[in-house]
Amino acid sequence: MNMDTLEVSIVIPNYNGENLIRQNMPSVIEATNAYPAKSEIIVVDDASQDDGIKVLVENFPDIKIVHHEINKGFAEAVHSGVKSSLYSIIILLNTDVIPDRNFISPLIHYFDREDTFAVSPLIRNQDGKSLRVSWNLAKLVRGELRRKDWDLDDALELAGQGKKLKSLYASGGSVAIRKQMFEQLGGFLPIYKPFYSEDKDLCTRAWKRGWATYFEPSSTVIHAHKGSINRFFSHKRIKTIRRRNRFLYLWYHLSTNKLILSHLPWILYRFPMRILRFDMVYPLALFKALRQLGEIVKLRDQLRSNNGLISLEEIIEKIGFQN
């Protein structure tokens, strides 16, 4: 199959992103024009109070708009966009992401593989520096998940040798996803609301079903990091939610042995140490996560019933560092 015939739906969640829409939507449209197959752009407005919708209607009339009457958050905005989409491949883009004109085709070529769930492009900052979140190679250290460092030249060399670069997960701000698999997984889980770790969890659940996430360095986007989270939430709240969701993710996906023998002892060590340092984010996030422990137990039971018995540490070992 010629993979450039696969039709693509680009889903863009938006909340008060009027200025970002003005700046970045032309680049998205240019990318769809450069892609040879059919495509559509869907903007899901999550009850914005600015004139972003007006800007879309007046300047980009071919874009499909889905409107939320009340703010529902990132995950629900994505779900609404996917539900409204026509095509089998979904590309998620944040409003603060500027895609390269030819970024679509290199991602789509992976979907000739039956196991492909998601593909991440190379994400650069505004200075052109490659961001580590493009390729998520992980390791477990002292009961916590840590990303491994990697070098772009090594990634390009491996890709040039025809190797597929496996990744634990792809950033939800710029990723191509197979729609059917996304729907089978039930999309993003509500336990991570309002933000952070949904993408990591989604791809981990895909790995547990034998579906892979890849990194394609020849597809590039620029992430300007001007999204709604930093504009509308306090720094402390963002840190607390991020830390809480790290707990929830690990409690959901680590094996029971790793939870008991590694993760839990390190919590018992870190908890008093953070308090002594007057760092209250860690204990506050832990208490918030514990309030959702019952939900995590139910989710773990569901994984067992769906034959999702492979643990996070086994997935990490399976991905490995490709050299």
* pLDDT tens per residue across span 61-74: 999 999 999 999 99
Cβ–Cβ < 8 Å for 221, 174: yes
pLDDT score for 235: 85
> What's the average model confidence in pLDDT over 10-17?
96
DSSP class per residue in 138-189: EEEETTEEEEPP--HHHHHHHHHTT--EE-S---TTEEEEEHHHHHHTTSS-
- Could you give the percent of the chain with pLDDT greater than 70? 94
Average pLDDT of span 186-204: 95
What is the C-alpha separation between 8 and 39, in angstroms, rounded? 5
| pLDDT given for residue 238 in this prediction | 92
Mean pLDDT of 13-24: 95
pLDDT tens sequence across 270-303:
999 999 999 999 999 999 999 999 999 999 998 8
On average, the pLDDT of the chain sits at: 93
Candidate from 38-47, 173-182, 190-199, 299-308 with smallest mean pLDDT = 299-308
Report residue 228's pLDDT band, with 50, 70 and 90 as the boundaries.
low
3-226: CATH, from 3.90.550.10, 3.90.850.10, 3.50.50.60, 3.40.50.2300: 3.90.550.10
Q: Cα(103)–Cα(25) distance, rounded to whole angstroms? A: 15
Q: What is the pLDDT of residue 323?
A: 46
What number is the average pLDDT over the span 253-267? 96
**Phi and psi for 220 in degrees, rounded to 5?**
-130, 145
Instruction: Annotate 8-28 with b (16+ C-beta within 10 A) or e (fewer).
Output: bbbbbbbbbbbebbeebbebb
Q: For residues 303 and 209, give the distance between their C-alpha atoms in angstroms, rounded to a whole number.
A: 10
Q: Are 40 and 64 in contact (CB under 8 A)?
A: yes
In this prediction, residues 187-202 reach a mean pLDDT of: 95
Collect all residues with Cβ–Cβ distance below 8 Å to 36 and sequence separation of at least 6.
4, 5, 105
| 207, amino acid identity | W
Tens of pLDDT, residue by residue over 124-140, are 999 999 999 999 999 99
| DSSP E strand stretches across the chain | 8-14, 39-46, 64-68, 89-93, 97-99, 116-124, 138-141, 144-147, 165-166, 174-178, 212-223
**What is the structure's pLDDT at 307?**
63
Q: What is the pTM assigned to this prediction?
A: 0.94
Q: Of 65, 92, 99, 102, whose CA–CA distance to 8 is shortest?
A: 92
- Confidence tier at 86 by pLDDT (50, 70, 90): very high
User: SS3 for 230?
Assistant: helix
In DSSP terms, which residues pair with 220 in a beta bridge? 122
Question: What pLDDT score was predicted for residue 3?
Answer: 66
Mean pLDDT across the stretch 194-202?
A: 94
